[in-house]
Structure formats: C-alpha cells, structure tokens
Amino acid sequence: MSHELEQLRDAALSEIGGAGDEQTLEAARVRYLGRAGSISAWADRMKSLSKEEKPVVGKLLNEARTSVTAAIAEAADRLRAAKEARELADIDISLPGTAAELGSLHPLTQMLDRAISIFRRMGFALAEGPDVETEWHCFDALNTAPDHPARNEQDTFYLPDGRLLRTHTSTVQIRTMEKAPPPIRVIAPGAAYRRDEVDATHSAQFHQIEGLYVDEKVSIGDLKGTLEFFLHELFGAETQVRFRPHYFPFTEPSFEIDVKSKALKGGEKWLEMCGCGMVHPAVFEQVNSARGDTAYDPKKWSGFAFGLGMDRLAMILFGIPDLRYFAANDLRFLRQFA
C-alpha cells in the first residue's frame, strides 16, 4: 500500500484539478502547502523519523511538493485564461472605435504639394515673388504692349500707389532672372489675381505654378519632355497629351497643352491644362536692361516657361464641380480631403 504522503498528494492533485475558481484553488493551496498545510506538516515530522525512513519520506515529500506546486500553477493559468475568455466573450465588437479628430490639409495645398514634388524630382528648385507687383514686372518686362488690354483697370486690380496685384505668376520669371544669372531651373507656386466676378469657374484670386528653365540650347523638345512627363506623373501614364500653338506676349513660339483621359472628370474630351512656350527674346532683353548687364544674352541662352492653373487641376483631379468650394472653407468639404 502507498505511503500516506502519496495519498495526500493524490488527494491534493485531484482537488486542484477540480478547482473551478481562484478562491477554491487558493483554499486548496493553503490546506496542503500553507504554513499549517497537511503536506507542509510532514516537514516537521521528519525530525521524529528514523534514519532509515528519513531519506524515503524526504524524497516523497519533495515529489509531493513539486507536483502539487506545479499543478497549482497550471490550474491558476487555466483559471485565468478561462476568466479572460469569459470577460471578453460578452464584448460588443460592433461598438464604434475610439474617435480622434483628424486634421486635414486644404485640397489646393495637397494639389500644390503633389505638383511640387513631381517638379522637384525633375530637378526644379522653388522660387517666389511678391503678390503686389510693379506694372513693369507684370507687363513691360513680359513684352506686353503698353496698350495691351490686360493692363486695363477692368481686368487688373490696382493699388492707390500704382502698383498692382500680379495677374499671373510669370512675374517670378523676371524676379528670378533679376537676382541670378543663368542657368535657371525653378518653379514658383503662388497666387494671382484677376478682376473677375466670382462664379463656378472664375475667382478674383487663383493659384498657379510658374515654371522657368533657362540654359544653353534649351529647345521645344525639352519643353515637351518636361511637361509631358509632369502630366503623365500627375494623371497617369495612359493620359494623352497634345500641344497646340497659341499666343502669349512673353513666349515665342507659344503653346497650350490639352490632356485627354477617361480617368479624369470630363476627360473624354481634350481638357486645356497649361500655357507654355519658349521665352521671348524681348523678355531676356528687358531682364538685361534691369540687371545692367548682358547675362541673358538671347544669342547664347534660350529657355522655356509655363504656367499651370492649380485650381483647375485640383478640380479635375479631385472631381470638384465648383471653384467656390475652395474659398468657402466649409469643414464638410475640407474633411473629405483628410
């Protein structure tokens, strides 16, 4: 027949195995392994045992302690896992997740950032110039005749001191060339103003990215390569791009660029995107006279310039039907671009 300790151990293991909650388990631990527990009590009894019995009982006692302790740990893990499972079983996982107020960037900012990042990959640096400009920077330097209709008070906002709000970002071409000799490779994002009544496609203030590249032997092929690459990056490689000759006073030859793509809103027809052209030699001559040197000798340097309407690009790219959304800043609109 087995030793009393073995019987005690088996009873403990069975009780622990059957414990259904943490209190019952703790009670079992105290009863067997606590200071006054029935297994612990054998440690005291060891002193009164004979030399022959001591090693045998000692071994049994160790075994009993070890196996009961392990069983308690195992049972504790089992009970905790069951408790956790019980607790989580009732959770309604369909409750809404914890909310955070997300901020957002204005869609025009996002449009500008996209365009700028493409041009930066192509090696363009940024440039800037003031919104309030002199008539010379806005018109004379850009080869626009003194009686050109664009200078009229009906089309251009003037300040009392005779300065004006630039009607295009092309002024930055002049500002940039005044400051630095060629080669030049810049883009200039910025606001421009026209004296237009506000409607779905017109606003008094609009946004452009101006581009200017002046170097030796810059050609129409370079202009085409640059803007085709940009438009393909922006709208996708499958987009068709078409150059059409046009007229601007400050470029010659001048072009307008159209794109066509089924992926764009209204893009089943050609959409006008951009005005561009080769910098007019008269513009270089004006810059030279302002600089007082011949840094921009039209015989040595050539270049191209372009102007992209950011409001229109954003409308096409994001499917926005009315320009007035941009200035209204309705949060229900802005949050769509978070």
Window 223-282: residues binding another protein (CB under 8 A): 224-226, 228-229, 242-247, 252-255, 278, 280-282
Q: How far is the CB of 172 from another protein (least distance, A)?
A: 9
The answer to whether 56 contacts another protein (rule: CB under 8 A) is no
Residue among 195, 230, 236, 234 at smallest CA distance from 213: 230
Residue 80 vs 335, nearer CB to another protein? 335
Residue 16 vs 165, nearer CB to another protein? 165
Q: In the 8-state DSSP scheme, what is residue 141? A: G
Q: Which stretch binds another protein (CB under 8 A): 11-19, 62-70, 180-188, 261-269?
A: 180-188
- Helix or strand run (H / E) with residue 190: strand 184-193
CA dihedral 245, 212, 312, 221 (to 10 degrees): 40
Window 187-206: residues binding another protein (CB under 8 A): 188-189, 191, 193, 195-198, 203-205
CA dihedral 263, 267, 270, 271 (to 10 degrees): -110
Residue 42 vs 284, nearer CB to another protein? 284
Q: How far is the CB of 329 from another protein (least distance, A)?
A: 4
Residues in the chain, total: 338
Q: How far apart are CA 144 and CA 141, in angstroms?
A: 7
Residue 75 vs 287, nearer CB to another protein? 287
Window 103-162: residues binding another protein (CB under 8 A): 103-106, 108-109, 113, 116, 122-128, 130-132, 145-147, 149, 152-154, 157-160
Residue 12 vs 165, nearer CB to another protein? 165
The answer to whether 185 contacts another protein (rule: CB under 8 A) is yes
The answer to whether 318 contacts another protein (rule: CB under 8 A) is no
Q: Which stretch binds another protein (CB under 8 A): 18-26, 40-48, 75-83, 324-332?
A: 324-332
Residue 50 vs 154, nearer CB to another protein? 154
Residue with tokens 């363009």: 124
Tell me which of 114, 222, 240, 288 binds another protein, using CB under 8 A: 222
SS3 55: helix
* Angle separating helix axes 171-179 and 281-291, nearest 10 degrees: 50
The answer to whether 178 contacts another protein (rule: CB under 8 A) is no
Tell me which of 95, 237, 269, 292 binds another protein, using CB under 8 A: 95
The answer to whether 47 contacts another protein (rule: CB under 8 A) is no
Q: How far apart are CA 260 and CA 239, in angstroms?
A: 6
Q: How many CB atoms lie within 10 A of CB 182?
A: 19
Residue 237 vs 338, nearer CB to another protein? 338
Q: How far apart are CA 304 and CA 210, in angstroms?
A: 11
Residue 31 vs 242, nearer CB to another protein? 242
Amino acid letter, 268: E
Q: How far is the CB of 83 from another protein (least distance, A)?
A: 24
Residue among 195, 190, 228 at smallest CA distance from 311: 190
Letter string b/e over residues 232-264, b meaning 16 or more CB atoms within 10 A of that residue's CB: bbbbeeebebebeeeebbbbebbbbbbbebeeb
